[in-house]
């Protein structure tokens, strides 16, 4: 059977509806050990190798997955994290965004949309699978934000296709953690 353009368009529309209707859940439960992450990353356009274990030595880590650099929702989310970078730093937290994009694209995104304030790195398929944030049908991640305590345990997870609420909720989780673990 040969597919006509109309058949293809109908199948594409059906697939997009099923993706939009599929709920997004952070599959890693609270209290779970965060899978290790070592990946190419950039901050202010400067490349480095991000290691989650190293970042956790300095305090909690906000590890947020986003579908793709330079898309409208991901740009909004990057701007919001950028605006809140000082508030996260005041709590001793590191922020890093991960997307299944090439490093050169993320390098530009780190300058223009992250405004040189926090790192973004490559979310390999293995990392996406380990964190159970794979978007249905596509090879990219969904929009999920985790807060990981310095002991490597997930203390907060939030998944929503909309960028709204990710920064507010992760910052609240970091503040609650800091209140329970004051700097001595």
- Indicate which residues carry an active-site annotation: 74
Taking the C-alpha atoms of residue 166 and residue 92, their distance in angstroms, rounded to an integer, is 18
Two tokens, residue 67 = 């579908």
Using alpha carbons, select from 136, 140, 114, 116 the residue that is nearest to residue 127.
140
Taking the C-alpha atoms of residue 107 and residue 46, their distance in angstroms, rounded to an integer, is 7
Burial of 39 per CB tally in 10 Å (0-12, 13-18, 19+): middle
Q: How far is CA 16 from CA 135, 137, 139, 147, 164, in A?
A: 12, 10, 14, 30, 21
């Amino acid at each position: 059977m040969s597919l006509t353009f109309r058949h293809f368009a109908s199948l594409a529309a059906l697939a997009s509806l099923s993706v939009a209707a599929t709920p997004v859940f952070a599959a890693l439960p609270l209290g779970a050990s965060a899978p290790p992450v070592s990946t190419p990353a950039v901050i202010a356009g400067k490349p480095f190798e991000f290691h989650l274990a190293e970042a956790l030595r300095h305090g909690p880590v906000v590890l947020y997955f986003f579908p793709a650099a330079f898309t409208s929702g991901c740009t909004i989310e990057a701007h919001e994290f950028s605006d809140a970078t000082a508030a996260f730093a005041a709590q001793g937290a590191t922020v890093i965004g991960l997307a299944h994009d090439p490093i050169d694209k993320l390098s530009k995104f780190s300058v223009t949309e992250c405004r040189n304030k926090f790192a973004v790195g490559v979310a390999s398929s293995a990392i996406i699978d380990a964190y159970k944030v794979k978007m249905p049908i596509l090879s990219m991640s969904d929009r999920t934000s985790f807060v990981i305590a310095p002991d490597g345990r997930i203390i907060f997870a939030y998944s929503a296709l909309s960028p709204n609420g990710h920064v507010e909720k992760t910052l609240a989780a970091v503040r609650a953690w800091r209140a329970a673990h004051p700097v001595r």
